[in-house]
Amino acid sequence: MNNKKEIICINDCYFPRNALTKHQQISVFSKTLPILMKTLINTLDVFHKYAEKNNIIYSLHGGSLMGYYWNKNIIPWDDDVDVIVRGKDIVKINKLWESGKPINVKKYSSGFNNKLTRIIKLNNQEYEIIKNVPSGIKTLFKLRPRNHNCFINRTGGIDIIYCMEYPDGSLRDSWNPHRICGGPSNKYTEKMCPIVDFSGIKTRALINKIGEKYLDIVYSRKWRIKCHPSLKY
């Protein structure tokens, strides 16, 4: 009996044929996934333009930064986009949320609910910006189009967190204060998070010298292997 997994390669990334996306838990070969990814990239494009207009310095983060370093694209089995802003810039994100109109929507899973959903307009389109249920110092916002048909099981969208700076100089992310991040700190300049091409649009990403060191610490150097986590061990 052959128990070997059938391995697929897309954009130089290897993964098992039966791989599911990280959050929505849908097949990598689902017809929904290309629609979802296009929605994410379009939303990131809108966020980037808003950030540039409001002097918000940010970077791709986590798996999204990894995908950029791999092939300047979303990892084939990922289904959200992570960005991180400077600590002083999260205030602007919160004001954007506060400016929105509350709306009654279905209750979400994973700590999000209708009471913290606001409708805002960006680029003449309506978006939902959702704030996590307050829990200690954990902070995360989600941004996604109001009208969509691709976020199935979870809230989905662009995850926006901020960089926390501790007295000892260490940097942590606001969603997981025990996890190191690469910045941007309040001292970071645009040169440290330059504008880059990502999946056909402009966004920002930490320079390799900073970002790769951060990924090495959080994910170990095995993140450099362009394959699904299940194939690395």
pLDDT digits (tens, 9 = 90+) for 45-57: 999 999 999 999 9
pLDDT range class, residue 3, cuts 50, 70, 90 = very low
How far does Cα 21 stand from its chain's mean position?
14
Percent of the chain with pLDDT over 70: 88
pLDDT at 135: 61
Q: Is residue 8 part of a domain?
A: no
pLDDT at 206: 98
Rounded average pLDDT over 86-91: 96
Amino acid at 164: M
- For residue 112, what are the domain limits? 16-231
pLDDT of 70 higher than 60: yes
Question: How far is residue 21 from each of residues 15, 71, 158, measured CA to CA in Å?
Answer: 11, 18, 15
pLDDT range class, residue 2, cuts 50, 70, 90 = very low
Q: Is residue 188 part of a domain?
A: yes
Rounded average pLDDT over 127-153: 79
- Between 120 and 132, the more confident residue is 120
**What's the number of domains the chain is made of?**
1
Q: Is residue 4 part of a domain?
A: no
pTM reported for the whole predicted model: 0.92
Q: Is residue 9 part of a domain?
A: no
Q: Is residue 225 part of a domain?
A: yes
pLDDT range class, residue 24, cuts 50, 70, 90 = confident
Q: Is residue 50 part of a domain?
A: yes
Of the spans 21-30, 41-50, 102-111, 123-132, which averages the highest pLDDT? 41-50
Q: Is residue 1 part of a domain?
A: no
Rounded average pLDDT over 160-165: 96
Rounded average pLDDT over 2-6: 59
Amino acid at 103: I
User: Are 163 and 173 within 8 A, CB to CB?
Assistant: yes
- Kindly report which listed range (3-7, 40-44, 201-205) carries the lowest average pLDDT score: 3-7
Token representation of residue 43: 């939303």
- Kindly report which listed range (1-5, 17-21, 61-65, 180-184) carries the lowest average pLDDT score: 1-5
Q: Is residue 73 part of a domain?
A: yes
From CA 181, how far away is CA 220, in angstroms rounded?
13
From CA 85, how far away is CA 80, in angstroms rounded?
17
pLDDT at 171: 97
